[in-house]
Amino acid sequence: MLEVSVVAMSDPATGQMQRDRSETEMDILKMEARGAVLIATFNHVNALNPMSLELENAVRSVCRETERNPSIRALVLTGGNDRSFCAGGDFKEVAQLSGRAAVEAFIDRWIDFYCTILNVTKPTVAAVGGHAIGVGFQVALSCDWRVGSPETKLLMWELKHGIACTIGGYMLETFVGRAAMSDIIYGCEVVPISWAAEHKLLHQVVDPSSLVETAIERARILSEFPEITFRRTKESTNRRLIVGLRAIAHEAKEAHVASAATNAVQHHVKRVLRQ
């Protein structure tokens, strides 16, 4: 039987160690083993699954456990069949950002988060139901394989809300090219499912009711590939993306500091929280 434990980890913002398998982490990230496949289901109290620090830390832990534990051969990240994958960052946490140091730490934290997922050398599959906005979209892009449904809504809408989209822009340009990236981040509209499938932002599009099961089956298939060749190939291909993400950190920080100075983000957050 597959044994799963979430190891202690440090908060990248504070450096403090978190408790092993805390009740909070267990609640916000449900885990299930199917053979050698570990399914991690985002379980934020909000059905849109905003990526709060609490959920982020739990995902970091499960990524590191996947990499460490030889019994785990593949990882599925999902919000479930009936909930959104992840509708971006947690607005309440974003609203508390103040000053250059906090913004720079915030950018370092997100880049490190995506790199944590990219550094998992075993297969990672995202079952993307409902909304995948901003951070959620980028988490999905950090996985090796993405399964969606006709109801999946991939969206980068940061710019029209006063939030810089440097990291998302870089990741999308890497995946689909400059022209398509521009259309997505400047258009601020949901990516059509047929286009997303054609350009492999989604590798499979299935009925919403079979979203997670399809992702698990794909993870199982990938987990049965010869381990050493899969790992070495993934390390090589992901290394370029990781290097690129770290290289744009300075630009991303300057862009977010500049946008934060206009208070556009805070005004937008206040409008959202009043709704």
H/E/C letters for each residue in 194-226?
HHHHHCCCCCEECCHHHHHHHHHHHHHHHHCCC
Residue 184 phi, psi (nearest 5): -75, -50
**Is 65 strand, coil or helix?**
helix
DSSP label of 119? T
**Quick one: which of 14, 43, 268 has its CA closest to 160?**
268
Highest mean pLDDT among 15-29, 50-64, 253-267: 50-64
Question: Average pLDDT of 177-206?
Answer: 97
Residue 60, amino acid: R
Higher pLDDT, 95 or 119: 119
The DSSP secondary-structure symbol of 117 reads H
Task: Identify the CA nearest to 113 among candidates 162, 157, 53.
Answer: 53
CB hemisphere CA count around 148 (13 angstroms): 27
Third-level CATH fold of 23-274: 2-enoyl-CoA Hydratase; Chain A, domain 1 (3.90.226)
Give the pairing type, strands 145-148 and 131-133. unpaired
The structure's pTM equals 0.86
Query: Is 122 in contact with 144 (CB distance < 8 Å)?
Result: no
List, for residues 213-240, the tens digit of each pLDDT value.
999 999 999 999 999 999 999 999 999 9
Say which residues have a Cβ less than 8 Å from residue 183's Cβ, sequence separation at least 6: none
Q: Is the pLDDT of residue 24 over 50?
A: no
Give which of 73, 88, 85 is closest to 126, Cα–Cα.
85
At residue 16, the pLDDT reads: 35
**pLDDT band with cut points at 50, 70 and 90 for residue 265:** low
Average pLDDT over residues 19-37: 71
187-196 pLDDT, tens digit per residue, is 999 999 999 9
| Mean pLDDT within 91-103 | 73
What is the Cα–Cα distance from 80 to 234, expressed in whole angstroms?
26
- What is the pLDDT averaged over residues 155-184? 94
